[in-house]
Amino acid sequence: MKKLILVGRVAAGKTTLTQALKGEQLHYCKTQYINYFDTIIDTPGEYTEVKQLGAALALYAYEADIVGIVISANEPFCVFPPAITCMVNREVIGIVTGVDKPDGNVEQVRRWLKLCGCEKIFEVSSYSGQGLTEIIEYLREPSDAPDARPV
């Protein structure tokens, strides 16, 4: 599978999405440092929110095939500037998490992700499983087993 790095604010749903993609039981776990798995790199939200740490994300992105900008459906604002995808020479996808949240505004988040430069956008719920198969299929390489999941 292609390696995916997830970047986004604190509580955007990166770690929960990682657990769901790996087929694990979902539980809250605050990411304190960069977590490397076989096909997923999970980053702390502070790396997105603190200007001095932001450049580190571009460097960590070089270890991935695809960068995933993660924004929760109920975010009140977007921390990512327009055209940020040019910061890395990797494909950048957008991921809207928590699409089943009653206070979510998926269309607003889609607009923000498009403004960031994301051409491919996934809408997911880690709890219901909505959209997870689409991300797994997108990460799958031709040589991967048909039922392979990110590990």
Q: For residue 48, what pLDDT is reported? A: 87
What are the tokens at 83?
């055209």
What are the tokens at 104?
């979510």
Average pLDDT value for residue range 34-38: 81
Flag whether 145 is in a domain: no
pLDDT at 75 over 70: yes
Q: For residue 25, what pLDDT is reported? A: 86
pTM value > 0.85:
yes
Flag whether 95 is in a domain: yes
Flag whether 147 is in a domain: no
Flag whether 150 is in a domain: no
Flag whether 54 is in a domain: yes
Q: For residue 151, what pLDDT is reported? A: 65
Flag whether 60 is in a domain: yes
Q: How many domains is the chain partitioned into structurally?
A: 1
Query: CB count, 10 Å around CB of 23?
Result: 11
pLDDT at 123 over 90: yes
Q: For residue 31, what pLDDT is reported? A: 67
Flag whether 82 is in a domain: yes
Say what percent of the chain tops pLDDT 90: 66
Flag whether 37 is in a domain: yes
What are the tokens at 148?
């392979």
Q: In what order do the strands lie in the sheet with 91-97?
A: 35-36, 40-42, 4-7, 66-72, 91-97, 121-123
Domain that holds residue 20: 4-139
Instruction: Tell me the pLDDT band of 144, cut-offs 50, 70 and 90.
Output: confident
CATH of the domain at 43: 3.40.50.300
Instruction: Tell me the pLDDT band of 105, cut-offs 50, 70 and 90.
Output: very high
Q: How does the average pLDDT of the chain come out, rounded?
A: 91
Q: For residue 143, what pLDDT is reported? A: 84
Identity of the residue numbered 140: R
